[in-house]
Amino acid sequence: MNKRPIAVTVIAILLVLGGAAGLTGDFMNSHSLSANHFESIWVGALNALGIVAAVFLFRGSNWARWLAIAWIAFHVAISFWNPWQQLVMHGLIFALFAWILFRRDARSFFHPPQASV
């Protein structure tokens, strides 16, 4: 098995931290039921997906890098309704994630050479 690139480990850690921070913040802010309860469920699910992507990035699952890209791409998309600085920041993070997760060393980690039988 190929060794996990350090950059992939860093992205996985960032996803865990971001997802956990989002879940914690959402939990702390949802102490009372409100009209936004349905929205809170979706926000929590999105943050949980970030953590799922991170766990499986650690394990070397190819689909997890696509989930990580989709996760940050969704953040770029919802940033269109926020100040432009957030859009730029999420766009830069998206570009960094894509560059790291699809470099040659990452590709070889997520697609190890097949053993011939």
**Helix, strand, or coil here: 102?**
coil
**What's the pLDDT tens digit per position in 27-68?**
666 655 455 677 778 888 999 999 999 999 999 999 999 999
20 has pLDDT over 90:
yes
Long-range CB contact pairs, 67-76, < 8 A, 24+: 68/11, 68/15, 68/97, 68/101, 69/94, 69/97, 69/98, 69/101, 71/15, 71/46, 72/97, 74/46
> In the chain, what percentage of residues exceed pLDDT 90?
71
Q: Are 51 and 16 in contact (CB under 8 A)?
A: yes
Give just the sign of the alpha carbon dihedral 98, 100, 105, 110: negative
113 has pLDDT over 70:
no
Q: Where are the domains of the chain?
A: 6-110
